[in-house]
Amino acid sequence: MTKRIIDSEDSIEDVLEKMSNGNPGALNVLNRIIDKKEEQGFKLILKMDSLGLRGSSIWICYKDYCKKDIDKFISEIKSPDSGMMNFVE
């Protein structure tokens, strides 16, 4: 699957759809980040994109690495460690 580029003209819905790659778990996590962090959430999502986290990688990190703890997941995105990045590779 070709990585769909996030464009400055994209709505938040477009960004969430591109980042989730159709994975409902990832979309749920992305929506929780937006709900929890509002404006900062969008920046976190862009950081996830720069880290290469999209689709199932988002869901796996949240569900398995962060044990479904959204605050831990957000913290990991803010200051990623090699453990999390290796976990999804």
Domain ranges, residue 31: 15-88
Domains: count for the chain: 1
Radius of gyration (C-alpha) of the chain in whole angstroms = 12
Considering the domain boundaries, does residue 42 fall inside one? Answer: yes
Considering the domain boundaries, does residue 2 fall inside one? Answer: no
5 φ/ψ sector (left φ>0, alpha ψ -120 to 50, else beta): beta
- List pLDDT tens digits, range 8-56: 899 999 999 999 999 999 999 999 999 987 778 889 999 999 999 999 9
Considering the domain boundaries, does residue 55 fall inside one? Answer: yes
pLDDT band at 1 (very low <50, low <70, confident <90, very high): low
Considering the domain boundaries, does residue 10 fall inside one? Answer: no
Considering the domain boundaries, does residue 35 fall inside one? Answer: yes
Token readout for 17 is: 């759809």
